[in-house]
Amino acid sequence: MGWKRGIALFIAFQVIIGCSSESNSEINRGSFPKGFVFGTASSAFQYEGAVKEDGRGPSVWDIFSHTFGKITDFSNADVAVDQYHLYDGDVQLMKDMGMDAYRFSISWSRIFPNGTGQINQAGVDHYNNLINSLLAKGIEPYVTLYHWDLPQALEDRYTGWLDAQIIKDFAVYAETCFQKFGDRVKHWITFNEPHTFAVQGYDVGLQAPGRCSLLGSLFCRAGNSATEPYIVAHNVILSHATVANIYRKKYKSKQRGSIGASFDVIWYRSATNSTADIEATQRAQDFQLGWFLDPFIFGDYPFSMRSRVGSRLPKFSKSESTLIKGSLDFVGINHYTTFYASNDSSHIIGLLNDSLSDSGAITLPFKDGKAIGDKANSIWLYIVPEGMRSLTNYIKKMYGNPPVIITENGMDDPNSPFISLKDALKDEKRISYHRDYLSNLLASIKEDGCNVNGYFAWSLLDNWEWAAGYTSRFGLYFIDYKDKLKRYPKDSVQWFKNFLTST
């Protein structure tokens, strides 16, 4: 797709579309098309705990989280919310709410403790038990193969995602999962937020494996912020395409499943009506969603990336382009918030010489001293429900209206010792968040014709939130970290129960 058309689309979506014509209070499951899927989402490293049990090998996040100064509250996920042992009760919580599906990830190092080689049967048994428990309660499993927890053995052996060997090893791991679980799992997500772990892990160094070259490498022990994010992303894209090809050739006809990937997408609103800011807004999206979705839909990176990154951006061969294009059965979208975007006319950010500065766009959640929306707990999460509708319309227009699943959406409250349990369970702000985002999603489906087929709330439970540790609570259920990880329903649980049982 030409860059001029992309900019034209962004101009069209800078005007806020607004909320659904239906009253927010009236929406419920019955408002959505028949067969629309509602669920909650999680990841293995944030939920499971039991990091040294039943043969599991260490992941890059085990090492990173135990490195001093990397986690805000100096915590780790060795126990997390102990879903490894408590999964059966958690499945019952989902059933009680009326959820249709559960999105969870498989820990690669539970299946292959060394990344490759001998299969760990205890790990296979655990996921078989979880899948069977879900199905027994009428809950459909949506399985993510990779949610950031690379086996540390592969990082040690050949620097993981920086080496093309990872494509072969990921394919073996993925195919093993198809063989062991594919008779019951019909919805596969190869990667969760490749943009996030490419940038946060290999550009700014704030997530595992913590590589960067910014600030004279004072923060990171190794890395090259100008090249490594692009190499990692390239290998991820080729890994997905390779695995999708294997699934379609060897398993799809019998298992009858689908395979997609989940992408993190902040919606960007141009800070002004100037041509420079509008063009910068498009570039910001090109360097976020377009970086990954353009190859899968069109067979190559966005023009703005190819022209601005130049020789630092790896190239796809003709055969690779053919393999990649069309390899998504559905597009997973993790959407939480909206930022303003403007042109980096001062080139201050450009001095960083990395993937963030290459776009030539500055993205912030405020302008002229005013926030774009009400703030949640996370420093990056501002509540802008209209962004959901604008984003899904953009995907429809830019990419030909592919099947979309909202694989994550939610907001967090602070984990404060000064907030009583009683008050922590009163999460009206979360209820309003989900209601308003769902209202805009519904409008995009019913009024705009967007091809969206599911919605997964992040998250069922409060959990360990990566570099934020336990300082953030995204859950519908409150976890009492001081009392045996007891689960307490917040008011949002009852809201979802009412929403899902009303038609």
pLDDT digit string (tens) for 393-431? 999 999 999 999 999 999 999 999 999 999 999 999 999
pLDDT at 177: 99
Three-state SS sequence of 367-391: ECCEECCEECCCCCCEECCHHHHHH
Q: Which residues pair with 367 in a beta bridge?
A: 370
Give the amino acid at 480: D
435 CB-near residues (< 8 Å, 6+ apart): 24, 25, 27, 495
Cα–Cα distance measured from residue 105 to residue 92, given in angstroms and rounded to the nearest whole number: 19
Please report which confidence band the pLDDT of residue 167 belongs to, taking 50, 70 and 90 as the band edges. Answer: very high
Q: How far apart are CA 405 and CA 192, in angstroms?
A: 13
Mean pLDDT on 277-296? 98
For residues 164-187, give the mean pLDDT. Answer: 98
| Amino acid residing at 222 | A
Which has more confidence, 354 or 438? 438
Query: Tokens for 98?
Result: 């009326």
Backbone angles phi and psi of 188, in degrees to 5: -110, 135
Report the pLDDT value the prediction gives residue 22, as an integer from 0 to 100: 45
Give the mean model confidence (pLDDT) for residues 331-353: 88
Q: How far is CA 276 from the centre of its chain?
A: 30
Mean pLDDT of the chain: 95
Residue 456 host element (H or E) = strand 452-457
List Cα–Cα distances, 485 to 82, 127, 147, 459, in angstroms. 8, 21, 23, 16
Percent of the chain with pLDDT over 90: 91
What residues does 143 pair with on adjacent strands? 104, 188
Q: How far apart are CA 164 and CA 232, in angstroms?
A: 9
Strand, coil or helix: 118: coil
The predicted-structure confidence for 72-105, as pLDDT tens digits, reads as follows 999 999 999 999 999 999 999 999 999 999 999 9
Confidence of residue 352 (pLDDT cuts 50, 70, 90): confident
Known active-site residue 193:
yes
Residue 175 annotated as catalytic: no
Considering 193, 228, 279, 320, which one is annotated as catalytic? 193
With residue 197 as reference, give the H or E element that holds it: helix 194-202
Q: What is the mean pLDDT of residues 43-71?
A: 98
pLDDT at 255 over 70: yes
> So what's the pLDDT on residue 502?
84
CATH of domain 35-501: 3.20.20.80
pLDDT higher than 80, residue 4? no
How high is the pLDDT of residue 23?
Answer: 47
Higher pLDDT, 221 or 322: 322
Mean pLDDT, range 384-394, rounded to an integer: 98
The tokens for 246 are 């294997």
With 90 as the cut, is the pLDDT of residue 356 above it?
no
Residue 333's beta-bridge partner residues? 263, 406
The answer to whether residues 385 and 439 touch, using CB atoms and an 8 Å cutoff, is: yes
Angle between helical axes of 228-250 and 291-298 (0-180°, round to 10): 40
Q: Is the pLDDT of residue 475 over 60?
A: yes
Q: What is the pLDDT of residue 131?
A: 99
Q: Do residues 262 and 189 touch, judged by C-beta distance below 8 A?
A: yes
- Percent of the chain at pLDDT > 70 equals 94
DSSP per position, 460-493: SB----GGGTTSEE--SEEEETTTTTEEEE-HHH
- Please tell me the distance from the alpha carbon of residue 396 to that of residue 500, in angstroms, as a whole number: 27
Q: What is the pLDDT of residue 257?
A: 98
Question: Would you say residue 348 has pLDDT above 70?
Answer: no
Q: Which two tokens stand for residue 175?
A: 């195919």
Residue 210: is its pLDDT beyond 80?
A: yes
Higher pLDDT, 457 or 9: 457
